[in-house]
Amino acid sequence: MTGIEWTEVTWNPVTGCDRISAGCDNCYALVMAKRLKAMGSAKYQADGDPRTSGPGFAVTMHPAALDIPRKWRTARLVFVNSMSDLFHAKVSEDFVRSVFQVMADTPQHTYQVLTKRPMRARRLAERGLVFPPNVWLGTSVENSATTHRIDELVKVPAAVRFLSCEPLLGPIDLDRFLLPESCPDGCACRYPDDAVAFDCPCTGACVGWSPNPAIGWVIVGGESGPNARPMHPDWVRDLRDECTAAGVPFFFKQWGGRTPKSAGRELDGRIWNQMPKAGATWTAA
C-alpha cells in the first residue's frame, strides 16, 4: 500500500532520476533514496550525478521487479515508478517496452504512469509503442513555464491523459487543453452553445457541440517538507473551476507545507477526490 491519495500501490521496476525543472528542487524521492541507501536497500546503492541527482538515486533498471504485478491476486490501481521516471533517457527502449508488456498482460490492473518527459513517450508511441487501455499517462506541470509538456502529452494515444500539478508553484491556465480551441465549424466559439450566447455568425455547428477534453484528470497539490514553497489558494481555485467547467475530474491532494497533514485537503469546505470513470477515453484537441 501507499500513502499517495490518488493511487493504491506503487511499482518501481526503475529507480533513480535527475532534476530537470523547478518542481524537482525538493524531490521527495531523492531524499528517500538517500535514506534507503543508508539502510542498505539493494535497489538504491548506485549514486547519481550530484549536480542533478544524489546518493542511491542513479537511474537503475530492475528486471527482477518486472513480474511483481503478475503475482497480485486482486485488481489494483498502480502508480508506476513513484521513485523514477519511466521515460528518462537512461531507461532503455527495450526496458520501457518490457514494462508495457507486463501492463498489457495484466489488464485487471490500472496503471498510472507519470513523467516529466512526455516528449519521449510521444516519440516511442510514434515508433510503435502501444498504450494498452489500462494504462493512463500523466505529466507533471508545476507552473506556466512547464505547460509545453502538455502539448506533448496530448499527442500520446493513452486511454486517459492526466496532469499532476504538484508542487503547484504558480498559476496555470489549462483552458486550451481541457476543451478544443474552436467549434467544428471553425468560428470563434470556444464552448458548446456559445453561438447562442454571443450571436456568433456560424452555421450553428457549436449548438449542442460536445467535445472530449484532451486531458482526462487533473491532480493538484502543494509542496511539502521543510523547504516547501507556498501555494496561493487562487491558483488551486482557478484549476478547479476550469476542470468543473469542462467536466474534467479534479483531485486536490494537499495544501502542503512543512507538516502537510496539519493543513489538510479541504478546498472551500470540500474534499475533492474526483477520478476518471472506468473505461473513459479522451481525444486530443
Higher-pLDDT residue of 193 and 201 is 201
Is 225's pLDDT higher than 80? yes
Mean pLDDT of the region 140-158: 96
State the pLDDT at residue 182.
53
Residue 195: pLDDT over 50 = no
Instruction: Give residue 129's pLDDT band: very low, low, confident or very high (50, 70, 90).
Output: very high
197 and 58 inside one domain? no
- Per-residue pLDDT of 162-172, as tens digits, reads 999 999 999 99
Both 192 and 256 in one domain: the answer is no
Give how many domains the chain has, as a whole number.
2
- Give residue-wise pLDDT tens across range 196-214: 445 565 655 565 555 567 8
pLDDT at 277 over 90: no
Whether 1 maps to a domain, the answer reads no
Q: What is the pLDDT of residue 198?
A: 52
What's the pLDDT at 11?
Answer: 98
* The pLDDT value given to residue 283: 36
Q: Are residues 143 and 200 in the same domain?
A: no
Domain-embedded: residue 236? yes
For residues 80 and 202, membership in a common domain is answered with no
Residue 276 maps to a domain:
no
pLDDT in tens, 52-70: 999 999 999 999 999 999 9
Residue 283 lies in a domain: no
Instruction: Provide the pLDDT for residue 117.
Output: 98
Q: Does residue 146 carry a pLDDT above 60?
A: yes
Would 275 be classed as within a structural domain? no
Quick: pLDDT tens for 16-61.
Answer: 999 999 999 999 999 999 999 999 999 999 999 999 999 999 999 9
| pLDDT given at position 260 | 83
Interval 91-111 mean pLDDT: 98
| 70: CATH | 3.80.30
Same domain membership, residue 232 and residue 138: yes
CA 271 to chain centre: 20
Q: Among 10-14, 137-141, 202-206, 215-219, where is mean pLDDT lowest?
A: 202-206
- Average pLDDT of span 131-146: 97
